Amino acid sequence: MLDLRRRAFDAVAMAVTSGPPANDQPEPVNVFAIIIFMVTLFAAGVGFILFDYTFQVVKILTIVEDLPSDYDLAPAYDPVDGESEGEDGMPPHYRDDLADADHTAETPTTPKVAPGLYLGGTPGKYITSSFRHTIRYLRQEAGFFSAWRGFSVNIVYAVAASCVNGIFRSMFPFPFGKYIAGVLVMVAVSPLSLVHTHVVLAPPTKETWFGRLSRLPFRAILHTLPAALLVAVTGQLTYALPDLMVKAFVPQRAFDDPTPRSDDNPYQSMLTPLQCLAIYSVFLASHVLLFIPSMIILYRVQASVYSPTEEAIIPFERTGALSIVKAWTSYTAEGRWRLVRLYARVMPLVWLAAFAVGTVLFFELRWVMGDRGHVLDVILHQWLRNQNGRAP
């Protein structure tokens, strides 16, 4: 994207040089204002990071969950005697139960859950029917911090992606090489994404994410690569299309030296509000129509290679590895509607909170800057003057 910051720096310089004459003595530093600003910035940053990750966990569970069906009620192992029922209507004994026969005899009313068997939730009702219901369920089943399950592997994923991105960016130094690098990065770190999805789906366990990664079958990683590539391509398109629009609206010639002095200068160096709306509309449309469907496919494909002998915290179809087409077609209309409701209920609150925090930080920054706080007003005023599509 063009370096639009240059115009902002020019505005800052103009505002500083055209400001009121400096006093003989420098203005004292408002330490209290700086502390308040830093505390607000830190609290807002931590809050947004934790809430965004919670939303990511709930989103994965919402996409993956299916109603309990025959595949959820089928035992992972056949009964020892081949019968479908145990004595006196009790659940049948499994091969893994033989070692715990004494314990089972002492507590006959608490049958052991066979690996791969899901017994939680309410029949006929989705656990992820709402954001709050999902959080309550997670805390009930896995503790208070369960909404941030897999946070450590998510940090490792972000750090690894950042490091690998630096390597690939150096291999593609041309302007749009960053998007090619972005695709390769997401494919390269896709095993960590697979582990993260499985950690979110797994019940509470002492096993670390690294232990899960070490025992992850290589064929499972290979099976999820096409879905990861699809997400990588659509994700980069989501940002490449607005980038092309910015380059069309604000050509590089607007920053060439020397800048034309004529009033008929056809080159604008700032985006108008209407252009910003158009760019955001394209970004939103590509995100909804391209990225979110590919994200649904990725999570369902990753869930399909979840170990069949391991319990899960929510019910989902565990009939084998799904292809890209099967992962999309098996996603029911009810599942899509739950995902739409999740976005519709959460995103307006996020936007409102971001606007409120941004407003508070703006006024706190003016407080910190003291007499030089008018610089922010000048920058905002200069942007508003550019509504006619020309540089002021």
The pLDDT score that the predictor gives to residue 329 is: 93
Q: How confident is the model at residue 369 (pLDDT cuts 50, 70, 90)?
A: confident
The pLDDT score that the predictor gives to residue 125 is: 77
Does residue 259 register a pLDDT over 90?
no
Do 197 and 307 contact (CB within 8 A), yes or no? no
SS3 breakdown of the chain: % helix, strand, coil, rounded to 5? 65, 0, 30
The pLDDT score that the predictor gives to residue 141 is: 86
Does residue 325 register a pLDDT over 50?
yes
Percentage, residues of the chain above pLDDT 70: 67
Give tens-digit pLDDT for 283-293: 999 999 999 99
Q: How confident is the model at residue 119 (pLDDT cuts 50, 70, 90)?
A: very low
State the average pLDDT over residues 291-310: 94
Q: 75-84, 111-120, 282-291: which range is least confident on average?
A: 111-120
The pLDDT score that the predictor gives to residue 18 is: 52
State the average pLDDT over residues 367-372: 74
Q: 76-85, 138-147, 188-197, 344-353: which range is least confident on average?
A: 76-85
Give tens-digit pLDDT for 166-192: 899 989 888 788 999 999 999 999 999
DSSP state of 370: G
| Nearest alpha-carbon partner for 245 in 290, 276, 291, 285 | 276
**Where along the chain do its domains lie?**
5-76+115-388
The pLDDT score that the predictor gives to residue 375 is: 63
Q: What is the CB-side half-sphere exposure of residue 248 using CA atoms within 13 A?
A: 10
Q: Is 79 helix (H, G, I), strand (E, B) or coil?
A: strand
Higher-pLDDT residue of 255 and 181 is: 181
Q: Give pTM, 2 decimals.
A: 0.74
Determine the length of the chain. Answer: 392
105-119, 155-169, 247-261, 355-369: which is most confident: 155-169
The pLDDT score that the predictor gives to residue 163 is: 93
CA pair distance 31, 48, nearest whole angstrom = 26
Give tens-digit pLDDT for 336-351: 999 999 999 999 999 9
CA pair distance 370, 280, nearest whole angstrom = 34
As a dihedral over the C-alpha atoms of residue 48, residue 155, residue 206, residue 222, rounded to 10 degrees, the angle is: 120
The pLDDT score that the predictor gives to residue 69 is: 55
CA dihedral over 277, 48, 337, 64, signed as positive or negative: positive
State the average pLDDT over residues 124-149: 88
The pLDDT score that the predictor gives to residue 123 is: 55
State the average pLDDT over residues 294-308: 95
Q: Average pLDDT over the chain, rounded to whole? A: 77
What is the second-level CATH architecture of the domain 5-76+115-388?
Answer: Alpha/alpha barrel (1.50)
Does residue 165 register a pLDDT over 80?
yes
CA pair distance 298, 54, nearest whole angstrom = 19
